[in-house]
A and B are shown apart, each in its own frame.
Chain A
Amino acid sequence: DAGVTQSPTHLIKTRGQQVTLRCSPKSGHDTVSWYQQALGQGPQFIFQYYEEEERQRGNFPDRFSGHQFPNYSSELNVNALLLGDSALYLCASSFDRDAFFGQGTRLTVV
Chain B
Amino acid sequence: AQKVTQAQTEISVVEKEDVTLDCVYETRDTTYYLFWYKQPPSGELVFLIRRNSFDEQNEISGRYSWNFQKSTSSFNFTITASQVVDSAVYFCAPRSQGNLIFGKGTKLSVKP
In the bound complex, how far is the Cα of B98 from the Cα of A88, in angstroms?
21
Whether a CB of chain A sits under 8 angstroms from the CB of B97 is yes
What residues of chain B lie closer than 8 Å to A88, measured between beta carbons? 43
CB of A36 to closest CB in B, whole Å: 11
- Annotate B46-67 by CB proximity to A: 1 below 8 A, 0 otherwise: 1100100000000000000000
Whether a CB of chain B sits under 8 angstroms from the CB of A65 is no
Assess whether B97 is in contact with A99, with CB atoms less than 8 Å apart. Answer: no
Per the 8 Å Cβ criterion, residues 52-103 of A in contact with B are 55-56, 58, 88, 90, 92, 97-103
Residue of A nearest to B91 (CB): A42
Assess whether A101 is in contact with B50, with CB atoms less than 8 Å apart. Answer: no
In the bound complex, how far is the Cα of B44 from the Cα of A103, in angstroms?
4
What residues of chain B lie closer than 8 Å to A42, measured between beta carbons? 4, 91, 93, 102-105
Assess whether A58 is in contact with B104, with CB atoms less than 8 Å apart. Answer: no
Interface size on A, residues (CB 8 A): 25
Assess whether B99 is in contact with A45, with CB atoms less than 8 Å apart. Answer: yes
Among A44, A48, A58, A102, the residue within 8 A (CB) of B44 is: A102
Residue of A nearest to B43 (CB): A104
Q: Quick one: given A40-B104, A41-B104, A42-B104, are A101 and B44 in contact (CB under 8 Å)?
A: yes
CB of A69 to closest CB in B, whole Å: 20
Assess whether B50 is in contact with A43, with CB atoms less than 8 Å apart. Answer: no
What residues of chain A lie closer than 8 Å to B91, measured between beta carbons? 42-43
Assess whether A43 is in contact with B98, with CB atoms less than 8 Å apart. Answer: no
**In the complex, the 6 A-B pairs of residues with the closest C-beta atoms, listed nearest first:** A42-B102, A101-B45, A45-B99, A103-B44, A104-B43, A43-B102
With A42-B104, A43-B91, A90-B45 known, 13 other A-B pairs at CB within 8 A are A33-B99, A42-B105, A45-B100, A45-B101, A56-B98, A90-B43, A98-B50, A99-B35, A99-B95, A99-B100, A101-B46, A102-B44, A103-B43
